[in-house]
Amino acid sequence: MIKKFFITGTDTNIGKTTISSILLKKASNYGYKTAGYKPISSGIKKCNNIVSKIIKKKSQFVNEDTSILQKNSSVYLTNKEINPVSFLENAPPNILSIINNKKINKKYLSLGLKKITTKSDWILIEGAGGWYTPISNKNTFSDWVKKEKLTVILVVGIKLGCINHAILTEKAILADNLVCAGWIANNIFPSDKYTSYYIQTLLSYIKSPLLGIVPYLKNINEININKIKIELPE
């Protein structure tokens, strides 16, 4: 049976790609043929030193998220297979779609996912921004997730405001009649004296199980998955 999970977050820049890379590696260690899928990306730039080391390429313009997913998948996929729709600028997909006259077709996203299912049996699909990120003036990313009936994993970036964002996001996921397999607390700052209070509060309000707590990671090279306790979603 092919397992497919959609990663969403409480905001943008809260570590969805980092969490995705950890889960892909853990699933691979369990014997799955893993693949990361980034249907839509925005922001293409020259590799920094960290990303260059990860993807072993120098002086190349890439979408960092796509490259990291490629590196941490156990099956080889081309950039285009992982990321069928990409934009040079860094902005919401619906705005970039209009500016670049490049329509985002949900059927195209589904076709890309279907192709990956022929190569992998454990697929992690990374969204863009939060749950209701628009991909057009009529549809949000969540509309495609509903169409595909994907199981959702929620990444909560631990910071001021995360409690409200996490509660609202989970309520939206459940209201869409989707399964939320769990949530992951990601420490996006080196230290915050309220971290444990945030997490305890969320445990009181979030119905879905806590899959794990990820410590602050200065860069992706610091990841030692053996030391990070995250349960694989069912």
As a whole number of angstroms, the distance between CA 211 and CA 33 comes to: 21
**Both tokens assigned to 232:** 């694989």
Query: Binding site for substrate: residue ranges?
Result: 42
DSSP 82-110: H-SEEESS-S-HHHHHHHTT----HHHHH
Query: Binding site for Mg(2+): residue ranges?
Result: 17, 65, 126
**Both tokens assigned to 231:** 């349960």
**Both tokens assigned to 78:** 């081309």
**DSSP three-state, residue 134:** strand
Q: Is 218 exposed, middle or buried (0-12, 13-18, 19+ CB in 10 A)?
A: exposed
Task: Measure the N-to-C terminal CA separation of the chain; round to a whole number of Å.
Answer: 12
Pairing outcome for strands 85-87 and 40-42: parallel
Q: Which among 25, 26, 38, 159 is annotated as catalytic?
A: 38
The reply to whether 114 belongs to the active site is no
Query: Binding site for ATP: residue ranges?
Result: 13-18, 65, 126-129, 186-187, 215-217, 221
Distance from chain centroid for Cα 90: 16
Sheet of strand 180-186, all strands in order from the earlier edge strand to the far edge: 34-37, 122-130, 3-9, 151-157, 180-186, 210-214
| CB-based contact 149:63 (threshold 8 Å) | no
Annotated catalytic residues are 38
